[in-house]
Chains A and B, each alone.
Chain A
Amino acid sequence: DAGVTQSPTHLIKTRGQQVTLRCSPKSGHDTVSWYQQALGQGPQFIFQYYEEEERQRGNFPDRFSGHQFPNYSSELNVNALLLGDSALYLCASSFSNTEAFFGQGTRLTVV
């Protein structure tokens, strides 16, 4: 079992650009959540997808959007990148009421 896999692992983008991050959940998991972790802070909840719909959303602007596909994989899209969007983006998957398993993250740097 490959666990939760995220791609790419590192990414450098220019301010104003758009970025797409990808996540494949752990086998058997149907729920995907995305988190943003800034340096020195804990992960901050962005949103959660279940059955291809956004089920919950944290306090993030509409520039952050996502999608879940029929195979449960997910994408996180960020438009009009700001310098402050530089962070580690974590994907977590879960099934029913089990604890979430995290991927290794995508390190996004906005310059």
Chain B
Amino acid sequence: DQQVKQNSPSLSVQEGRISILNCDYTNSMFDYFLWYKKYPAEGPTFLISISSIKDKNEDGRFTVFLNKSAKHLSLHIVPSQPGDSAVYFCAASMTSYDKVIFGPGTSLSVIP
């Protein structure tokens, strides 16, 4: 049973436009949510996180939104750049130091 779901395996966006990556989760005990980015032949790189007491967290071009009632979060990248092309993993844990459960990933392509 997949506890973290990313229903879009891939997404293609024009450079300069907004990229929106979506994630749904099933376990209401999750309290901490993260986004990681992964380039080929590299390990995942931490992007941004949000705890369940917040509904929004912003870091530069990256903003994560959390809707606890819908068990849904999204990552917004504005403006999108070609260097953002990578696989993005949504992840969740019950605490900030607990084991992290990853979704299957969404492959983002930003077209120049």
Q: Decide if A and B are genuine partners.
A: yes
Name A residues whose Cβ lies closer than 8 Å to a Cβ of B.
4, 31, 33, 35, 40-45, 48, 56, 58, 90, 92, 94, 96-105
Q: With A45-B99, A104-B42 given, name 4 new contacts (CB 8 A).
A: A90-B44, A92-B43, A101-B46, A102-B45
For A4, list chain B residues within 8 Å (CB). Answer: 43
Q: Return chain A residues, CB-CB under 8 Å to B105.
A: 41-42
If A31-B97, A45-B99 touch, whether A90 touches B43 (CB-CB below 8 Å) is: yes
**Complex CA distance for A31 and B98, rounded to whole angstroms:** 11
- Decide if B29 is an interface residue (CB 8 Å cutoff): no
Q: Are A48 and B102 in contact (CB under 8 A)?
A: no
Q: Which residues of B contact A43 (CB under 8 A)?
A: 44, 89, 102
Interface pair B97/A94, CB less than 8 Å apart: yes
